[in-house]
């Protein structure tokens, strides 16, 4: 089983044709200006590298002119069309006043399996009382969280709440809540690794490329952490993520498969660890 845990379905043509504001928001707020492609392109990229399932992430930002990139309902609609290939993650703003009811709705009515948070774009403090309530509810509902950590390219948004160490206390206090620190917290790689070492419920994903091609980026990560650390420390906690469409799945996949690590570790990164993260 191969799983890409980090896919943003916001430049899916079927969605942008139906709701042009999604395209505007993707360009202005998500800072991504590539051309929308039909859903079949995403599926073809998955097929090229034999990825069985992709986790589709919603991103609802009420504070940004109620931007939805995309909405919980849009993610649910894509999952309904391709239930065997997609897993849906909801998104709520902890400060919205309706985060808990919306989170429950996404699980009970939409069938979404986890929660995506991005404190930079959603402009919330991940240590606020409202955010803590969301973690409580996600833990109660059995919904793993994938949270953005590391660089946010657009300087329109603060990176104040992007550091991985924020989630150490949150993970400690929610031992049944699986938390993925996206992008391995790049460039704060060791900080993310330390949080994962201390907390068995913390996972990292490989999503994104920041210093060149995926191959160059993965080499930089490997030279920083060493192959031994990836094998022996992150072997059961690192998950394959592409960050599609900021990078093509097949290019990220090719880079990960070139990692100079043991085959069993690679198998875990490409899918088994994600099954554990998803609670399957």
Environment class of 109 (CB within 10 Å of its CB; exposed 0-12, middle 13-18, buried 19+): exposed
* Smallest distance, other proteins to C-beta of residue 49, A: 9
Q: Using the rule CB under 8 A, which residue among 1, 24, 47, 156 binds other proteins?
A: 47
Round to whole Å and give the CA distance between 170 and 44: 37
Does the protein bind other proteins through residue 246 (CB under 8 A)? Answer: yes
Helix, coil or strand: residue 93: coil
Q: Using the rule CB under 8 A, which residue among 65, 81, 97, 153 binds other proteins?
A: 153
Q: Using the rule CB under 8 A, which residue among 1, 38, 83, 198 binds other proteins?
A: 38
Environment class of 229 (CB within 10 Å of its CB; exposed 0-12, middle 13-18, buried 19+): middle
φ, ψ for residue 88, nearest 5 deg: -100, 135
Does the protein bind other proteins through residue 48 (CB under 8 A)? Answer: yes
Q: How far is CA 73 from CA 4, 135, 142, in A?
A: 21, 21, 20
- C-alpha torsion sign, points 195, 208, 86, 31: positive
Does the protein bind other proteins through residue 39 (CB under 8 A)? Answer: no
Does the protein bind other proteins through residue 14 (CB under 8 A)? Answer: no
Residue with tokens 């992008």: 183
Does the protein bind other proteins through residue 260 (CB under 8 A)? Answer: no
Q: Using the rule CB under 8 A, which residue among 1, 24, 44, 280 binds other proteins?
A: 44
Single out the segment in contact with other proteins by CB under 8 A; choices: 160-168, 184-192, 206-214, 231-239. Answer: 206-214
Q: Using the rule CB under 8 A, which residue among 14, 19, 31, 125 binds other proteins?
A: 31
Helix, coil or strand: residue 51: coil
Q: Using the rule CB under 8 A, which residue among 150, 164, 185, 214 binds other proteins?
A: 214
Does the protein bind other proteins through residue 71 (CB under 8 A)? Answer: no
Residue with tokens 């931007």: 67
The maximal CA–CA distance of the chain, rounded, in angstroms, is 48
Residue with tokens 């996600």: 138
Smaller CB separation from other proteins, 39 or 141: 39
Does the protein bind other proteins through residue 40 (CB under 8 A)? Answer: yes
- Secondary structure tally for the chain: helices H, strands E: 14, 10
Does the protein bind other proteins through residue 111 (CB under 8 A)? Answer: no
Does the protein bind other proteins through residue 172 (CB under 8 A)? Answer: no
Does the protein bind other proteins through residue 156 (CB under 8 A)? Answer: no
Does the protein bind other proteins through residue 81 (CB under 8 A)? Answer: no
């Amino acid at each position: 089983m191969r799983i890409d845990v980090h896919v943003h379905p916001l430049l899916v043509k079927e969605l942008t044709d139906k709701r042009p504001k999604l395209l505007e928001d993707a360009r202005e707020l998500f800072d991504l200006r590539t051309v929308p492609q039909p859903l079949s392109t995403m599926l073809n990229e998955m097929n090229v590298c034999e990825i069985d399932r992709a986790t589709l992430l919603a991103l609802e930002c009420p504070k940004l002119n109620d931007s939805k990139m995309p909405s919980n309902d849009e993610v649910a609609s894509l999952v309904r069309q391709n239930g065997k290939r997609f897993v849906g993650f909801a998104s709520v703003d902890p400060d919205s006043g309706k985060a808990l009811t919306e989170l429950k709705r996404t699980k009970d009515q939409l069938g979404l399996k986890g929660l995506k948070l991005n404190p930079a774009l959603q402009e919330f403090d991940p240590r606020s009382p409202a955010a803590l309530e969301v973690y409580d509810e996600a833990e109660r509902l059995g919904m793993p969280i994938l949270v953005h950590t590391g660089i946010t390219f657009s300087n329109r948004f603060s990176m104040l709440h992007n550091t991985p160490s924020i989630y150490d206390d949150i993970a400690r206090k929610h031992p049944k809540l699986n938390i993925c620190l996206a992008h391995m917290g790049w460039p704060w790689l060791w900080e993310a690794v330390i949080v994962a070492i201390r907390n068995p419920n913390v996972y990292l994903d490989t999503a994104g490329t920041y210093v060149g091609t995926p191959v160059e980026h993965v080499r930089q990560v490997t030279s920083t952490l060493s192959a031994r650390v990836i094998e022996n420390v992150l072997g059961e906690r690192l998950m394959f993520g592409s960050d599609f469409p900021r990078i093509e799945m097949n290019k990220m996949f090719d880079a990960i498969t070139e990692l100079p690590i043991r085959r069993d570790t690679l198998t875990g990164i490409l899918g088994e660890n994600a099954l554990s993260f998803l609670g399957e």
